[in-house]
Structure 1
């Protein structure tokens, strides 16, 4: 979704200009594709594109396909470009093939530097090529569209449910189809779907339809095996056609598929955490629910936390997320974990081993976000780093009451009088030895060497995890985002002023 207007909530990422090309344009905003890969936790959001708002254009731009330079910022919606202007060093302004280039972006958002006379000469330009809600036909009535959507859903859902109907214990095929159609049909009933830009309408339709469907059927054995991709395609086609807009249909399908996969992954994540909680607390529903909520809230907190720091590679990002998830989850659910016999090193390691591959080693899903593992793959269950992260948590947990200097975070603090019980009955403990990380030249996962916990070795896994690759004297795991800027350019005074304003605002809020 487009970011809100203005600079509220923005944090500057680069203090040097980056280069890219404008690849899409809508009525008041567009998208930029950077020339170089951006090393940032949110770089893969919005399909790897960078959001461009009209008021952030510093000088007039020739149109779609033009080369630009910009400063990079982040906000709640992802990465955006500000102080955008044409790239004077670009020798060729590439226009998108098959898409007419607009005369000037100033037609939609006049630059603040334009004179009143210049603004008066500007004429609105209609952007085509499927990137704006260009009307190619009349808008159909809401009732007519809904009737066609319902008919399409009946046909497609009947085919989809036919493949899993024999696994449904409570309903026959006809009743199963009827119920699924009812859940999905509710997602199409919002009248604004015919007036929104098709990109927003597609995502809203999928989200609304999946909400009722997943709430009612997520616990069914067949839920994750029934593919509704074609169902959503055909149903939204009726909405799209009724809106009178034009676009390349593969682009519409890509957005529908992306949103559907995202929501199905969310369902897999919640199921994995609930099932894993049940493995360790099978006979105590209240404790299981508390542990599940702790894992879920901790997962959200860890993902938010890792998105605010800059790390050199994907492995470090996965390690940072996993460490934070363990700390937040066990800290939030400490009472349920203690009562269930899980507040010890062995059981905690086993719990998170289960979450790394909750559906087995052969299944590709992991509770570690796929956005962090695209280049290195999912961590295996026997990932040695879990030993380090869990040991680090218990070091803080058990010693937090004795820290007179730097107090441990609130989620490390153990309540007075609590004790660490032994391993829960029926669970085989995992042998916990020291680990020495092979930091230089390591591959992805499995590049840690397990060694005995020998004090003479002089290397402790928790120390390595806290102090960095080379111990206390090693470099900090943060990356200088400015290093990705254009070589040989000085820091822009505009970015310095923005950073000063952000710092002043943060100091005022504190």
Structure 2
């Protein structure tokens, strides 16, 4: 299977620098599962194929780590958890990308493709930084969610705002448009997914704010006010 061969090739290239069986397993699993997921996840038969490839990945990884220091009977359960985590991560990445594209399409639907692409790029590039920044936030869970949304909104919209032509700024970045955008990102209709970091949600993935969450509009007004003040300087 070509997906496994990618993992084996990667493992062979890095074999001299790997220090533990976990590193060896992670190298093989990440490369193999990445190739499989992004090639097949859009196909109608994907769920069944995922169920079939997981035990194959586990079996091959188990054979590969037999001679690695520290590997033992308990390693099998660790391998299973590694595989599940990889596929959860890929699914979250795909859901994130789909949610961003859908949110921009709904909020900026009448604008030209070039503008929408800039907004999408900004949202994608600024998301990891906002996820990292919120780790230092204090207070209860909702306060941390507010801190994340404010940071991601500021970073992504500032980047987008500076990327479009001056005469387009007020049209593109209206309060109404940005409020709808972040409602669609945080609480998309017809989906249980949210672009919030997993750590800010409940273990079962629930706990996102409601669609009519007032904080989003407040954060948008705060952002627009800052832009207006900066324009007067």
- Determine if the TM-score, normalized by the shorter chain, exceeds 0.5: yes
The partner residue of 1:398 within 214, 228, 232 is: 228
Partner Cα separation in structure 1 for residue 208 and residue 45 of structure 2 = 23
Larger helix share, 1 or 2 = 2
Aligned to 1:384, which of 214, 217, 221?
214
Q: Contact conserved, 2:28 with 2:61, CA < 8 A, in 1?
A: no
Q: Deviations over 1:213-271 (max 9, x none)?
A: 444455x3648755625513322322322431323222321122122212221222122
Which blocks of at least 5 consecutive residues in structure 1 are unaligned?
1-149, 151-181, 404-510
1:298 aligns with 2:126: yes
Q: Which has the higher strand share?
A: 1
What displacement does 1:402 show? 3.8
The answer for the alignment partner of 2:90 in structure 1 is: 263
Distance 2:43 2:201 in 1: 28
Q: Hey, what does 2:186 align to over in structure 1? A: 356
Q: Which has the larger radius of gyration?
A: 1
Matches of 1:221 and 1:288 in 2, distance apart?
26
What is the aligned counterpart of 1:233 among 35, 55, 60? 55
Structure 2: which 5+ runs fail to align? none
> Secondary structure of 1:228's match?
helix
Counterpart for residue 187 of structure 1: 7
Of 35, 43, 50 in structure 2, the residue corresponding to residue 212 of structure 1 is 35
Return the alpha-carbon distance in structure 2 between the equivalents of residues 211 and 329 of structure 1.
27
Q: Secondary structure at the match of 1:188?
A: helix
Q: Are the structure 2 counterparts of residues 347 and 364 from structure 1 closer, same or farther at C-alpha, using a change threshold of 3 Å? A: same
Match of 1:94 in 2: none
Aligned pairs (5 A) from 1:17-36: none
Structure 1 residues 198 and 256, CA gap change in structure 2 (3 angstroms): farther
Q: CA contact under 8 A between 1:303 and 1:321: conserved in structure 2?
A: yes
Counting matched residue pairs gives 219
Q: Is the 8 A contact 1:291 1:333 kept in 2?
A: yes
2:115 alignment counterpart: 287
Contact 1:294/1:332 (<8 A) preserved: yes
Match of 1:366 in 2: 194
Q: Distance in 1 between matches of 2:93 and 2:128?
A: 12
Query: Counterparts of 1:223 and 1:263 in 2: how far apart (Å)?
Result: 17
Kindly tell me: are residues 224 and 379 of structure 1, through their superposed partners in 2, closer, same or farther at Cα, counting changes over 3 Å?
A: farther
CA contact (8 A) 2:108 2:177 kept: no
Following superposition, the deviation at residue 391 of structure 1 comes to: 1.0
- CA-based RMSD: 2.9
**CA drift at 1:396:** 0.7
Report the counterpart of residue 73 of structure 2 in structure 1: 247
Distance 2:31 2:143 in 1: 36
Q: Do the aligned partners of 2:40 and 2:46 also contact (CA within 8 Å) in 1?
A: no
Aligned-pair distance for 1:302? 1.3
8 Å CA contact 2:24–2:65 kept in 1: the answer is no
Give the Cα–Cα distance (whole angstroms) in 1 for the partners of residues 35 and 140 of structure 2.
Answer: 38
Equivalent in 278, 281, 289 of residue 105 of structure 2: 278
1:3-37 Cα shifts (integer Å, max 9, x gaps): xxxxxxxxxxxxxxxxxxxxxxxxxxxxxxxxxxx
Q: 1:318 to 1:295 in 2, by over 3 A?
A: same
Flag the 1:238–1:215 CA change in 2: closer, same or farther, 3 A.
closer
TM-score by length of 2: 0.79
Q: Aligned partners of 2:153, 2:108: CA distance in 1, in Å?
A: 18
Residues 310 and 280 of structure 1: CA distance in aligned 2, closer, same or farther (over 3 Å):
closer
